[in-house]
A = this chain, B = another copy of it.
């Protein structure tokens, strides 16, 4: 039987990029990847579960840091090749650098300038 997973246009590695957006503020928090298992589990467990390309394993967001992303809504784009999650970001920190969002650098006068503050030191996040 066909499921919602069959409608995804997985890339040649069997992955799809997933955007996590804060469901209250609309802030874009991060982009990571999912395979079919990660997406299935994300829906089943109602929290963001990605596929770590560097570690080649499932990555339950927040499993070490506690910065879990609780799923509020899941969307798919017109080409079926990008997923968007509306999430509640526990702890208010999505980035491994201790910032609210991974998109903390802004282009200014031809240079990437770090704009957003570190909310928590990495050594306090990953003891």
Identify the A interface with B (CB < 8 A): 3-4, 7, 17, 19, 21, 25-28, 30-31, 43, 73-79, 82, 84, 95-97, 99, 102-107, 110-112
- In the bound complex, do residue A19 and residue B4 qualify as a contact, i.e. CB atoms below 8 Å apart? no
Identify the interface centre among A78, A106, A112: most chain B CB within 10 Å of its CB: A78
User: Besides A75-B107, A78-B99, 4 other CB < 8 A contacts?
Assistant: A19-B31, A21-B26, A25-B26, A77-B105
Q: Report how many copies the assembly holds.
A: 2
| B105-A75 in contact (CB<8A) | yes
| A21 with B31: CB separation less than 8 A | no
What are the 7 closest A-B residue pairs judged by CB atoms, nearest first?
A26-B26, A77-B102, A75-B103, A74-B107, A31-B82, A78-B102, A76-B105
